[in-house]
Amino acid sequence: MEDNKYFDLVETIFNDIEDRVDELPFDLDIDVSGGLLSVMFPDGSSVVLSKQVANQEIWVAAKSGGFHLHAQDQRWMCSTTDEELYVLLNRVFTEQLGAQVVL
């Protein structure tokens, strides 16, 4: 895919994630800058999503590890867990927060 299309897709996803996190009933802080979307949790931990333009991937860094996601059939899939992006985020957010999270 062309870089412009990749940027548009990831920008849309990051905006959607930011909106969904804002709607959660938890005290989470969000910072978006320089190709990163960081979600900070009350315990001081964070989940960071980053744009990886060269690979055209989205990387997710969480307490439980690092995950690389690639576009596949209109979805972003993790190469190690085979989870779709939002399924992965629900899991790592739930693990870090200690409460069920559904984005």
Q: Kindly report, residue by residue over 19-65, the tens digit of the pLDDT.
A: 999 999 999 999 999 899 999 999 999 999 999 999 999 999 999 99
Can you give the pTM of this predicted structure? 0.94
73 has a pLDDT exceeding 90: no
In a domain, 21, yes or no: yes
In a domain, 103, yes or no: no
By residue range, what is the domain housing residue 45? Answer: 3-97
In a domain, 67, yes or no: yes
CATH number, domain with residue 31: 3.30.920.10
In a domain, 102, yes or no: no
In a domain, 60, yes or no: yes
In a domain, 14, yes or no: yes
Q: How far is CA 34 from CA 28, 53, 102, in A?
A: 20, 12, 26
**What's the pLDDT at 27?**
92
In a domain, 54, yes or no: yes
In a domain, 16, yes or no: yes
Total structural domains in the chain? Answer: 1
The strand order across the sheet containing 36-40 reads 29-33, 36-40, 46-52, 57-62, 65-72, 75-78
